[in-house]
Structure 1
Amino acid sequence: MGALRALLLATARHGRLVLIAGLVAGILLPGIAGMVRGVLPELVACMLGVAALRIGPTAARGSLADIHISLWLVAAYQLLLPLVLAAVFLAFGLGGTLATAMVLMAAAPSISGSPNLTIMTGHDPAPALRLMIAGVALLPLTVAPVFLLWPIFGSFSAIALASGKLLLLIGCSSAVAFIIRHRFFPQPGVETLGVIDGVSALLMAVLVIGLMSALGPAIIQTPGLVGLTLLAAFAINFSLQIAAFMLTGGRGHERSRVAWSIIAGNRNIALFLVALPAAMTDPLLLFIGCYQIPMYLTPILMRPLYAGRMEAR
């Protein structure tokens, strides 16, 4: 157990490099990526549980003021932003797969790993968990106007069902994690938190391998399309993070500012795959694969911006 603890602590210290290793494996090992894709729901459940285990029930609950802010952020992130994007794309006659993917990304709630990414930047993950839960809970309401505006053939009922399943997954995994924490380490020390962070980094690295299953073959078959899609993924992810960080400055939200910024650019677009026609699945998988790269490089590439608000862990 001592060796395992030491390994996990080392993994936590080098968590950003572990994420890069997962990205590389997802591209170079498509066979393994296909195998991992088959257990993605289980990996997501485990990752949510580990994040809740580290945060604890008290921090996850927050205050009434936090809930109020979360509702406003969900409206801005998941309703206003995709509607603006959709209107701009339609005005310029852009209705292809890439435009659809970007609108759906903006309409999606936070990725399940947003608390883990926040941890890797050295900031409080609790605001990320609260905003993620609010975003999933309100998704059936926020996505309806987007689907009415955008010419997509997805089923709203399927989106509502997928959202409900994800909300149930978050609730169950968090409840189990909170019980474990209350029973075994209600006040975890620095080393215990480091072990949990190590487990979190490993889970995220394995998860990304499965999400990138379409990217490796596409690099060989359609490199130009991959380059364009990757450029779009970087542009929308980082521009949203920077915009959110700038807009939330100087408003008394220093403890939450980085978590909100990370969520602004990192969304769970994979949630929508269950509601899309089969003809759109493969092109979207390419965007999803490319989208993992800026997502998993966030703790490294966005560090200069977020380091100025570093908090004690």
Structure 2
Amino acid sequence: MLSLLGALAARGPWVLVAGIVAGIALPGLAADLVPYIPHMVAGLLFLAALRIGPARMWASLTDVPRSLALLLVLQLAFPLMLVAVFGALGLLGSVFVLALLLIAMASPISGSPNMVAMMGFDPASTMRLLILGTLILPLTSLPVLYLVPALGDLQTVIAAALRLVVVILGSGAVAFALRAILPEPGLRDLKAIDGASALLLAIVVIGLMAAVNDALWTQPGTFALWTLFVCVVNFGLQAVGYIATGKPGITVIAGNRNIALFLVALPAEVMAPLLIFVGCYQVPMYLTPLITGRILKALDRAA
């Protein structure tokens, strides 16, 4: 089993690509997996915390003030700048602008530490950014939700964020308790954890692709337009994150955000046209380890 998981870890980015393809090719399976996505997200958080361990997690907490400053730029200053620019242009009602604001406001995705580990970098700082970004989300989202009421109800967003905080802390506590009673994991064990993360991420993306299956076949032009839009936004933000900091974890979270926390709060009339956006957003997200991972490794070698 360890050998199999290790093999999956070695091909982790391609495992995620297989998940995207399976999600499109097997719509019935994708629909069946949707109810279990929250449970699988908890599993991903557990695996990320298990890999990091309590010692490395606590050591990374010395950088909390700088992390908070960075997150305030990403989750507050950036979306407020977008509101000012698009408000002046009279475009705040555009569905593409609303989608961009949702990305800009959101905290890092739950699978970001797993992705960073899959790319061959230390996920501890990414886990810290995930926890802090989710904790401050109710505060950072308040001004933007006030200025753009179409984005949803603040109470619902706060409730969703707090639920995710509980899941993150609970998954982390169980993983750290397990690390305390188990021997220190060796390289083979860590590779097995990475392989399990890759497999679980692939299963998650199969379920997430359920949102685009209908549109792919009935509205291929719309699907292509949204996919192009989210790829430009996601990888564009990742490029800005890398240019500004040079850090893999920040690069990943700059473009990969947990928009699901806001979608539960959106009014039905706003949510309907954005459903295809949600599904298309998974494409660049789950291609990140393959594309961004290769680029960052090439830049490291060239440095």
Superposed counterparts of 1:163-178, under 5 Å: 163-178=161-176
C-alpha distance in structure 1 between counterparts of 2:245 and 2:278, whole Å: 27
How many Å apart are 1:304 and its aligned residue? 4.1
How many Å apart are 1:295 and its aligned residue? 0.9
C-alpha distance in structure 2 between counterparts of 1:246 and 1:153, whole Å: 30
Gaps of 5+ in 1: 250-256
Contact 2:5 2:191 in 1 (8 A): yes
Contact 2:150 2:270 in 1 (8 A): no
Contact 2:151 2:262 in 1 (8 A): no
How many Å apart are 1:308 and its aligned residue? 4.5
Aligned to 2:29: 32
Aligned to 1:252: none
C-alpha distance in structure 2 between counterparts of 1:192 and 1:85, whole Å: 44
Aligned to 2:46: 49
Matched letter for residue 218 of structure 2: Q
SS of alignment partner, residue 104 of structure 2? helix
TM-superposition CA deviations, 1:98-136 (whole Å, max 9, x none): 221210111000000101110121111001000000000
Q: How many residues align?
A: 300
* Residue number among 211, 214, 219 corresponding to 1:222 in the alignment: 219
Aligned to 2:89: 92
Superposed counterparts of 1:1-313, under 5 Å: 4-63=1-60, 65-94=62-91, 95-152=93-150, 154-185=152-183, 187-249=184-246, 257-308=247-298
C-alpha distance in structure 2 between counterparts of 1:53 and 1:45, whole Å: 12
Say which is worse superposed, 281-290 or 302-311, in terms of deviation: 302-311
Question: Considering only aligned residues, what root-mean-square deviation do their CA atoms show, in Å?
Answer: 1.5
Gaps of 5+ in 2: none
Spell out structure 1 runs of 4+ moving beyond 4 A. Answer: 308-311
Taking structure 1 as reference, are residues 87 and 224 closer, same or farther at Cα in structure 2, changes over 3 Å only? farther
Contact 1:61 1:130 in 2 (8 A): no
Matched letter for residue 19 of structure 2: G
Taking structure 1 as reference, are residues 43 and 278 closer, same or farther at Cα in structure 2, changes over 3 Å only? same
SS of alignment partner, residue 150 of structure 2? coil
Taking structure 1 as reference, are residues 31 and 63 closer, same or farther at Cα in structure 2, changes over 3 Å only? closer
SS of alignment partner, residue 121 of structure 2? coil
Structure with more of its chain in helix, by fraction? 2
SS of alignment partner, residue 210 of structure 2? coil
Matched letter for residue 60 of structure 1: M
SS of alignment partner, residue 264 of structure 2? helix
TM-score by length of 1: 0.92
Identity of aligned residues (%): 47
Contact 1:123 1:310 in 2 (8 A): no
TM-superposition CA deviations, 1:250-281 (whole Å, max 9, x none): xxxxxxx1101100000000111221112233
TM-score by length of 2: 0.95
